[in-house]
Amino acid sequence: MHQTVTNRSKLPDDNVAEPHVVLDDYSLHKQKPVDTAGDNTLMGPAGGIWSNVSDMMKWAKALLDAIHNEPSVLGEVPTIVSHKTNITTSSIGENTYGLGFARAMIPSTELGMLSLNGAQREHVIGRTSRPRLVLYHNGGMSGYLTAFYLFPETKSAIVALGNSHGLGDGPDWSAQAIAQAIFDFQPPIDFAEVSKQRAKTEYDRYARLAADFEYFRNEERSEEEKRSVNVEDYIGTYVNSGLKMTLDIRNDTDENLMMVVNNVASQHHRLTHFAGDKLGFLPSSREEFVIREFIDWFKWDQFILSFHRQEDLGTVNGVNWALQSGIAPVYLKRVSLEE
């Protein structure tokens, strides 16, 4: 593997597919090099590998050799790819997760659950074909999408890498379409048509978020007692040491504040009053939404900071942030000036 590194700065040459997003007129917008994925960042272990299809196929072969107990430079692969937890308990076939690999027995209603397309419960490949095990993983990071599928029975692998996002997960559509062709899965799914449907859903995602954001803001404002809000109350530094996360909330304009996450250049977000002791940072347009790379933000409340006050003094002492749907909000404690 000669083109695989853990930081873009370590690539041997400039032959790099630059990241892109899709704008409102369906043109491609070239993004700046990502600053949150590398061996020197918190997200490095989750998305800090830079590679190409050729090297990934070598990686796939090494994994498949190890799965079949053949000579391999990799260790403990059977343990890594084995079942560790259930993805769902409502499936007849296997839908489980190992250490970094999802396991699915095709036909599977959960196939694609790691991709931006999500589980394809209405478009299941191989519904009438004999079952076939696939080990897979998907990646997505700031203008890039990937799909990596292993079929242990035939020692086959499919690798699809893409350098744009905004209208669905092209690499995952490609991987499933290739698998359908290789194994003659029946009945065939028209992935060209399915991808068009998903593209429209993704194009409209911001509009749905903005509508929900406005609706719930108006609802909460109508139910609360009218009071003046002093945004100066929220200025300060908030930390969650377990996540190594710091929010620095500072003045931006006379009426608005700015949130800076972990002092990262790309993580500056303008805050506006939402309702009560809540501030929001939903981008003002779809293009800003995609250019700012909110690739896996699907719920309006992910863009809300809910502040807490001390009961006796009334001063702000912390904030909750619902970073991920289905997971309890992250709590960050306000750092006092004395600390």
Residues with Cβ within 8 Å of 296's Cβ and at least 6 positions away in sequence, in order, are 116, 140
User: Is it the case that residue 339 has pLDDT exceeding 70?
Assistant: no
User: Is it the case that residue 44 has pLDDT exceeding 70?
Assistant: yes
Residue 55 tokens, joined: 């090297």
Sign of CA dihedral 324, 49, 98, 95: positive
- Average pLDDT of the segment spanning 39-47: 76
Residue 121 tokens, joined: 């419960």
pLDDT digits (tens, 9 = 90+) for 6-32: 888 888 888 999 999 999 999 999 998
Residue 229, H or E segment: none
Residue 1 tokens, joined: 């593997």
Beta partners for 86?
A: 96
Distance CA 36, CA 66 (A): 32
pTM to 2 decimal places: 0.86
pLDDT digits (tens, 9 = 90+) for 166-216: 899 999 999 999 999 999 999 999 999 999 999 999 999 999 999 999 999
Give CA angle at 241 (240, 247), nearest 5°: 40
Q: Where are the domains of the chain?
A: 8-203, 216-334
The DSSP result for 254-285, as a single string, is SS-EEEEETT-TT-EEEEEEEETTEEE---SS
Q: Kindly report the CATH number that applies to the domain delimited by 216-334.
A: 2.40.128.50
Sign of CA dihedral 96, 102, 106, 109: positive
Beta partners for 106?
A: 132
Contact 213, 303 (CB under 8 A): yes
User: Is it the case that residue 37 has pLDDT exceeding 90?
Assistant: no
* pLDDT band, residue 49 (cuts 50/70/90): confident
User: Is it the case that residue 35 has pLDDT exceeding 70?
Assistant: no
pLDDT digits (tens, 9 = 90+) for 59-79: 999 999 999 988 888 999 999
User: What pLDDT does residue 120 have?
Assistant: 84
